[in-house]
Amino acid sequence: MPIDTCIFDAYGTLFDVTAAARQAAAEPDFAALADTWPKVAADWRDKQLQYTWLRAVTGAHADFWQVTGEGLDWALDASGLSGDAALRERLMQLYWELSAYPEVPAMLQRLKDVGVATGILSNGSPEMLQGAVSSAGIGRLLDHVLSVESVGVFKPDAKVYDLVGRAFGCEAGNVLFVSSNGWDAAAATGYGFTTAWVNRMGLPLDRLPWQPAHVMDDLTGIPDLAGSL
């Protein structure tokens, strides 16, 4: 089936999840983060994702803003920074306005120019996603911004991927789903989407029953890929 809809994960795919820690580390008030920000950023992201999975399998759902804060608390504790309330507040504020990767606006514009519908499908809460989309200035390039909050469970539950068909009125086979999370792209393959894993860090494939159909270094080639399918 030809691709007429391109759906993106948000955090780590369109928006740089390391940007908050990197920016705070460059600010004079948070010099304690200068040498440790890469570890804090990595731990924060790892725990954020792990907590979504644990909440999904146990049925203990909470919105992504709470989970993001809990992941940050663990990351700061692991780096000996748990007592710095001002740092925590600043990092959470910066997460609300994460920058998009440099290639994102032009890539989305190319998709729109050839008539491909575009959207976000994310674990993020609606308010978080609106903040990031507005900060990046890409709202006009997205037809829908879909949050798991409407179904009350995180990825990779199939109820999340169901949201795409409902919003866009499309078949799974007409969707190119793009994520920087290998497990997300793999699960979306199992769901029936054509998938692209944006593997910016050169990680190995996850050992799962499915694999992403395509692997890319960044988002630049997504319009060409969508046009070739």
State how far the Cα of 125 lies from the Cα of 65, in Å rounded to an integer. Answer: 7
CA dihedral 34, 130, 226, 222 (to 10 degrees): -20
Give catalytic residue positions.
9
State how far the Cα of 208 lies from the Cα of 102, in Å rounded to an integer. Answer: 31
Number of H helices, E strands in the chain: 9, 6
Q: What are the phi and psi torsion angles at 62 (to 5°)?
A: -140, 155
**Burial label, 63 (beta-carbon count in 10 A; 0-12, 13-18, 19+):** middle
